[in-house]
Chains A and B, each alone.
Chain A
Amino acid sequence: MAAEIIVDVTKTFPGRTSIRASFRYPVESSTVLILFGPSGSGKTTILRSVAGLEWPEEGTIQFVSRTWLDTASRITVPPQDRHIGYMAQDYALFPNYSVAGNIAYGLGDLTPAGRTARVQEMVELFHLTGLEDARPRELSGGQQQRVALARAVAPRPQLLLLDEPLSALDAPTRAQLRGELRGLLKQLSLPSIIVTHDWAEALTLGDVMAVMHEGTILQVGTPQEVFSRPANADVARVVGVETVVQGTLVDVREGLATVRVGDMSLTAVAAGNISSDVFVCIRAEDVTLEPIGAGLTSARNHLQGTVGAVASLGALARVTIDCGFPLVAVITRSALTELGLTIGTAVRASFKAGSVHLIPRR
């Protein structure tokens, strides 16, 4: 039997949309699965069910060769016996233990010497040297996050579950830790499932991504696939970003970055230190379309192309423009009519430098 995670569960909460989620994917040593969706979509419930902290009324959860839940044959494995590392959104550090005490908490099976060695190893890996004796309340948000992760990883779990690992942090710290977390997850070579509603996190951290909306899983694929080719209008709405292409950073000057995408050159606002290989992300709502020959607006990016596809989204329309790469714009139906856009029409797409988001690509 291939190493797989199989989740097929139904869970209802009184007065809320019931959750019916089903997915399976192969687990390799360092696969990161992203459960992506807006709040209330049921992604945390799925994660907690995998952790054994929530009990779906019906369904099965299997991890590799072990069955953790099978309501039909009344198999319920408690969280203690699943050998998982779980990190809650607010980290849930034990206030009555020091940093070292928190990390050692789950190491009761080791000898005292083994425990000390493992704690030391974790302290070094997670850059916590000097903080061993500090209490959780004395730590910054980023430090707390690293302690929580170290505590979850210390007992060598077979699966790591992270619930919104970065959402409790302020924006600059979040951007910095996103990259660090990616590096750590690869270093740990441990399969993980990460819940997030942040598309930058999904792109940075994920190998596989499952999009959840109103309790069901709408699409499973690589993050780039899901973002750039949403399976349907619901997915497109949930993920919100529709143009994700690979680019290369060629220049940064006066806070503006120049990125090459194929033969095209785009201007983006440079944020932080970024590697040269990037994902270029543009939200469809940020792209405006004008007829060729109209006066240039103040936007930094103007691309000429032809309409490749038009799809209706009710009052809105989703237009894919072929301009060296597929660029998606969402405009109103009336604008579509005014511009007379049909497949093959030449059009100019404009968007501001601030609308071009660069995400480091590993």
Chain B
Amino acid sequence: MNWIAIWVTFKLASLTAASLLIIGLPIAYWLAYSTWRWKFVVESIVALPLVLPPTVLGFYILVAIGPHSPVGRFYTDLVGHPLPFTFEGLLLASILYSLPFAVQPFATAFEQVDRRLIEASWTLGLSKVKTFFKLILPLSMAGLITGAVLSFAHTLGEFGVVLMVGGNIEGVTRTVSIDIYDEVQALNYAGAAKTAAFLLVISYLVLLLVYAMNRKVWAVWPQK
């Protein structure tokens, strides 16, 4: 088994989930409470990675952060090397790819907090920000954990985006799914089988945790 690939994969998945916990909260809050009439436009964009082929998403990310784009040039000037085919580039791509897996459970959890509780908090003098941290966040804990665990699990198994943006650099961007693909290409079925079984067990355990904890809601698709 390729332990280096497993290490890279877990590092990527953990950092993706952690980043989405930070980035996803304000987006989900806005999606849950905004009354803007064009909100659905943003909702659709957030959900796009659910239906888009990973290679398409990977392609656009690659172009967007490549040395010919303003973003890519800015990054290169800042750090000294281009973003594609680095771990940071891969992390960015993973965050975008797993965005709906975090944001949708978060938003569903926020929406399920009784409006009257929020109003009670306001009349007791708590600002919207304080109400969020003292009331909405604690009441949404199951949704937050679901979103974090799902984005973690989703990143574990990502392939197309990694191949497009990360390439296949041992110890840097070669994840478990790429490793399995390489093994099969090399006709090393025994090696592939071991890693595949490992990934299967881990993914199943993660989902087991989500379902056990959150029996009422399967939160990837908001139930309305």
Contact = CB atoms under 8 A, between A and B. Distances in A.
Given A105-B124, A106-B126, 20 more contacts: A52-B122, A53-B119, A78-B122, A79-B119, A79-B122, A80-B125, A80-B126, A86-B120, A92-B120, A94-B121, A94-B135, A96-B135, A96-B139, A105-B121, A105-B134, A106-B124, A106-B125, A108-B126, A151-B124, A152-B123
B120 A51 contact: no
A53 B139 contact: no
B122 A80 contact: yes
Interface string B113-131: 0101101111111110010
A83 interface: yes
A95 interface: yes
B138 interface: yes
Q: Give the size range of B's interface with the partner.
A: 10 to 19
A206 interface: no
A349 interface: no
B35 to A, nearest CB: 12
Nearest to A51: B123
Contacts of A83: 125
A270 interface: no
Contacts of B135: 94, 96
A88 interface: yes
Contacts of B134: 105
B154 to A, nearest CB: 29
B125 A53 contact: no
A53 B123 contact: yes
Contacts of A84: 123
Contacts of B114: 92
Interface in A96-113: 96, 105-106, 108-109
Interface in A115-163: 151-152, 155
Interface of B: 114, 116-117, 119-127, 130, 134-135, 138-139
- For the residues of B in contact with A, the DSSP-based class is helix
B7 to A, nearest CB: 38
Interface of A: 51-53, 78-80, 82-86, 88, 90, 92, 94-96, 105-106, 108-109, 151-152, 155
Q: Counting chain A CB atoms within 10 Å of each CB, which of B114, B120, B130 scores highest?
A: B120
B82 to A, nearest CB: 47
Contact of A53 (B122, B124, B130, B138): B122
Contacts of B117: 92, 94
Closest 3 CB pairs of A and B: A106-B124, A86-B123, A92-B116
Contacts of A51: 119, 123
21 contacts: A51-B119, A52-B123, A79-B119, A79-B122, A79-B123, A80-B125, A83-B125, A84-B123, A85-B123, A86-B119, A88-B119, A90-B116, A92-B119, A94-B117, A96-B135, A96-B138, A96-B139, A105-B126, A108-B126, A151-B124, A155-B124
A95 B124 contact: no
A88 B125 contact: no
B122 A88 contact: no
Nearest to B118: A92
Nearest to B135: A94
Q: Counting chain B CB atoms within 10 Å of each CB, which of A52, A84, A96 scores highest?
A: A96
Nearest to B139: A96
A328 B185 CA distance: 97
A355 to B, nearest CB: 38
B181 to A, nearest CB: 46
Contacts of B127: 80
B125 A108 contact: yes
A152 B121 CA distance: 10
